[in-house]
Amino acid sequence: MRKIFRNILKVINYKHNKKYSGKTISKEGSIFEVDCWILSEILLDRVIPKIGISPYPLNEQMLMAAVVAYVQPKIIIEWGTHVGISARLFWEVKEALGLNCQIYTIDSMNPNHPEFPGAARGKYLSNTDVIQIVGDGAEIANKLLEDVFESVLVYVDGDHSRESVKRDLAIWEKLPSGSGILAHDVFYQTPSTYNVGPWQSFQELLQAQKSNISQVQWQLLGLPGMAFVSKK
């Protein structure tokens, strides 16, 4: 019985410590290309057992993992920590890829907000080196990007009003070349009004920055929806 238990632990530790660096990305010109088999293995081995499939269905988790593999960011900044599910996904993927990448997650949620997690804020981030910050996402992100010249990945999943998301996406101007923005809840479905703000703001970014965009990737099979845009 002990031998069986030890073998099970070996398998678990092997999956957790397995590295995939150098095998997940293929850049040819401006083509967005990653190895979806290996990313699927990372999700199955390391991510889904920890976070499940809510609030991010499998297609969105694949895009999130693919973007980390493609951008190879030195810094990941997200706002909308909540219980830390998205930050945990980014952390597991960058660890599996062996990336030297620091993750910051920012939460400015008011305790009176109906989705405020209370003591559960960031609970998925135990045993990680993710840095948690409470404050205004846009202001803190701008400070974190001072004197940063390497690739950055920004994940926007905070307040869903049009003006708030537009303010968050304005971080684009400070991003170095090769960086990118992931935006959540961008699936526009009538008569629902929940995702209208993120969808409108993201469309405005695409139009305003058309000449500075190298890649656009969408996951719009259904709610909630996710999109990625990268900078030339």
Region 184-199: what's the mean pLDDT? Answer: 71
- Between the alpha carbon of residue 48 and those of residues 33, 42, 56, 61, 89, the distances in Å are 22, 9, 10, 9, 9
Measured N-to-C along each axis, helices 58-71 and 85-97 cross at an angle, to the nearest 10 degrees, of 50
Given a contact cutoff of 8 angstroms between Cβ atoms, the answer to whether 169 and 62 are in contact is no
Listed ranges 97-111, 161-175, 197-211; the one with the highest mean pLDDT:
97-111
Q: Model's pTM, two decimal places?
A: 0.85
Greater confidence (77 vs 3) lies with 77
- The pLDDT of residue 152 is 96
Region 8-14: what's the mean pLDDT? Answer: 44
Greater confidence (100 vs 113) lies with 100
pLDDT tens string 136-191: 888 899 899 998 899 999 998 766 666 677 787 888 889 999 999 998 877 776 66
- The pLDDT of residue 4 is 53
Closest C-alpha among 126, 197, 189, 132 to residue 164: 197
| 80-90 burial: b if 16+ Cβ within 10 Å, else e | bbbbbbbbbbb
Query: Of 64-68, 104-108, 117-121, where does mean pLDDT reach its minimum?
Result: 117-121
Which structural domains are found in the chain, ordered by start? Answer: 23-231 (3.40.50.150)
Structure token pair of residue 5: 């238990």
- The pLDDT of residue 150 is 93
What sign for the dihedral angle of Cα 15, 17, 22, 25?
A: positive
pLDDT tens string 47-56: 999 999 999 9
Query: In the predicted model, is pLDDT for residue 12 greater than 70?
Result: no
Greater confidence (29 vs 31) lies with 31
DSSP 140-209: HHHHHTTT--S-EEEEE-S--SHHHHHHHHGGGGGPPTT-EEEEES----SS--TTHHHHHHHHHHHHHT
Greater confidence (217 vs 61) lies with 61
Distance of CA 30 to the CA centre of its chain: 21
Q: What is the DSSP letter of 179?
A: -
- The pLDDT of residue 228 is 92
- The pLDDT of residue 133 is 93
Give the separation between CA 198 and CA 57, rounded to whole angstroms. Answer: 18
- The pLDDT of residue 104 is 97
Structure token pair of residue 22: 């150098």
